[in-house]
Amino acid sequence: MFKINDYVMYGITGVCKILDIKEEKDRNSVIKKYYVLRPIYSKNTIIKTPVNNMKISMRKIHSLDEVNSLITAIPSEETLWIEDEKSRNEKFKSMLKSGDCEALIKLVKSIYENKKSNRELGKKAYKGDEEIMKTAERLLNEEFAIILNISPDEVNSYIAEKMSQ
């Protein structure tokens, strides 16, 4: 169970701070515990989710050492490409919903590599892939930014610098 003031990754919402843990009656008058979350990069939003919610992934954010290890491993991360657009879209959305940083990195790298090779062939990237990649990048950048104490916009530069060392 998480504690008040913990930072968590909540589904595709991104980094949230746990403001409170409350007990309230649900529709059936059963008392349940809820986390009260505030997305860090969406100040006017408050989310209330059951403590035992299994539908949306929620995990503690990574440590600085874990983030640096993830970044260091990017060059050796294998890519994944499924030619069938529908199957690929389903697989990528599943990876996105998992909230797993390694999966998100693999997803971004795979789409980026495919986009690069398509550009060389004079082809355009698939719109669905672009949207999924933007969401994955946002989730990674927001989490890494909190941990590195920088803005999400500075994360790509940090990663590039770290990988060049």
Helix/strand/coil for 97: helix
Looking at the structure, do residues 20 and 52 belong to the same domain, yes or no? yes
Please state the rounded mean pLDDT for residues 130-159.
95
Number of domain units in the chain: 2
Q: What is the pLDDT of residue 17?
A: 97
**Average pLDDT score over the chain:** 93
Residue 118: per-residue pLDDT: 87
Same domain, 55 and 27: yes
Assess whether 51 and 71 both reside in one domain: no
**Which domain covers residue 97, as residue numbers?**
64-163
pTM confidence score = 0.90
User: Which pLDDT value is given to residue 123?
Assistant: 86
Helix or strand or coil: residue 36?
strand
CATH number, residue 136: 1.20.58.1290
d(CA 26, CA 34): 10
pLDDT digit string (tens) for 14-48?
999 999 999 998 888 889 999 999 999 988 999 99
Q: 137 pLDDT band (50/70/90 cuts)? A: very high
